[in-house]
Structure 1
Amino acid sequence: MSVFDKAKELLNSEKGEQISDAVLDKAADLAKDKLGADKADKIEAVRKAADEKLGNE
């Protein structure tokens, strides 16, 4: 099994979903801090789009 297969398997697991959600949440919070609250809606939209691509729901 290659490294890519293992990574794909991890992302498709419940634990992988939790990890990806935590990373996306932290990235969104950081972006809001750096870019300001007025950009929060756009940041959340990007976070949601990324979660749909990475997540397994």
Structure 2
Amino acid sequence: MGLLDNLKARLEPAKGKVSDLAQQHGDKIDRGLDKMARTVDERTKGKYSDRIQTGTGKAKDAMDRLAHKEDKDDKGTEGGAAPGGTPGGTPPAGPPPAS
């Protein structure tokens, strides 16, 4: 067993706990992220507002993905099908749609 496999095996139980906490306290986490973003934006006098908003949005998206992890498969799609295709990501059978 390689180092990464060993780490993954040890971190697996923690993933479930973190996911549960993200589900239970998602609103508090969102408020904390917003408060942090406002504070940093004020202290930098708005110089990095666009970057702060981008980072805050990415953090919220990551938290949402973590909180709803069990609703999706490991490709990040619901129901096991790739977007616009069948499970496994193969394209749908038949001719392409006419435009």
- Bucket of the pairwise TM-score, normalised by the shorter protein: 0.7 to 0.9
User: In the TM superposition, what is the alpha-carbon distance from 1:40 to its structure 2 partner?
Assistant: 0.8
* Residue 12 of structure 1: aligned partner: 23
Structure 1 runs, 4 residues or longer, greater than 3 Å off: 4-7
Give the superposed CA RMSD: 1.9
- Is 1:21 paired with 2:45? no
User: In the TM superposition, what is the alpha-carbon distance from 1:12 to its structure 2 partner?
Assistant: 1.9
Where does structure 1 lack aligned partners over 5 or more consecutive residues? none
* Residue 32 of structure 1: aligned partner: 41
Where does structure 2 lack aligned partners over 5 or more consecutive residues? 1-12, 69-99
What is the aligned-residue identity percentage? 19
Count of residue correspondences: 53
1:11-54 CA distance string (max 9 Å, x none): 023xx110110010011011101112131111000000111111
In our comparison, the structure showing a higher alpha carbon Rg is 2
- The structure carrying a bigger helix percent of its residues is 1
Amino acid aligned to 1:45 = T
- Structure 1: distance between partners of 2:57 and 2:28: 15
